[in-house]
Every structure is written in structure tokens, then in C-alpha cells.
Amino acid sequence: RKEVEQDPGPFNVPEGATVAFNCTYSNSASQSFFWYRQDCRKEPKLLMSVYSSGNEDGRFTAQLNRASQYISLLIRDSKLSDSATYLCVVNSHNTDKLIFGTGTRLQVFP
């Protein structure tokens, strides 16, 4: 079983749609959680950190459920520029080792 599991997609949605991505992780010792965005043939870039209390950044909302070991990302009012691969990432206590999921590909069409 992979340490971080995501639906690879692709998710094809029209502009303006709301789309949600989910991710599960297997190591209960994981301490920090993130969503990264990766454009085609580019490096991953931090989109947002994820907290149990939930956090929002504009059209993006991330949520963590430690009991279920589940992380989510909600994108509202999708833009063409949101088309990318979204990587779910965790790391364990006292380590900087990042563990990535395979990524979920999002394609927003006009």
C-alpha cells in the first residue's frame, strides 16, 4: 500500500465549476500536510499547508481529518489557469522527508 494515495484523475471540469480532491495517508505519525501544484514539466510549488481546523486561501480550501487520515482540497470557481497536477504531500515527525502522492490531474475547459 502506498503511503499517500490519490485518485490520478484526470478531472475535466468547465470554468466556474467547483472541484474536490481527496487523499489518504497511511502513517499515523505524519505531522505536516500540504498540497503542492505542479504544472506540466515544471517543479512542484507549495499551494497551501493543511491544518485540522481547515484553512482557506481565496478560492482554495484545504481540510485535514486526522482520525480518518484523510486530506481534501476544494477549488471553487475554477479558472483555466488552475489546470495542473495537484500533489498531496505529508511528512513525518522530526523529519523533512516529504512523501508525495502520485498527483491528481485537473483540466479546466472553457
Partner 1 sequence: DAGVTQSPTHLIKTRGQQVTLRCSPKSGHDTVSWYQQALGQGPQFIFQYYEEEERQRGNFPDRFSGHQFPNYSSELNVNALLLGDSALYLCASSLLTGGYNEQFFGPGTRLTVL
Q: Is 109 left (phi over 0), alpha (psi -120 to 50) or beta?
A: beta
Least separation in angstroms between CB 49 and partner 1: 9
Q: Choose between 60 and 76: whose C-beta lies nearer to partner 1.
A: 60
E strands along the chain, which residues? 4-6, 11-14, 19-25, 30-38, 44-49, 55-57, 60-65, 70-75, 84-92, 98-100, 104-109
CB of residue 48 vs partner 1: minimum separation in angstroms? Answer: 12
- Which residues are at the interface with partner 1 (CB under 8 A)? 4, 8, 31-32, 41-46, 87, 89, 91, 95-103
- Closer of 49 and 61 to partner 1 (Cβ): 49
Residue 53 vs 93, nearer CB to partner 1 = 93
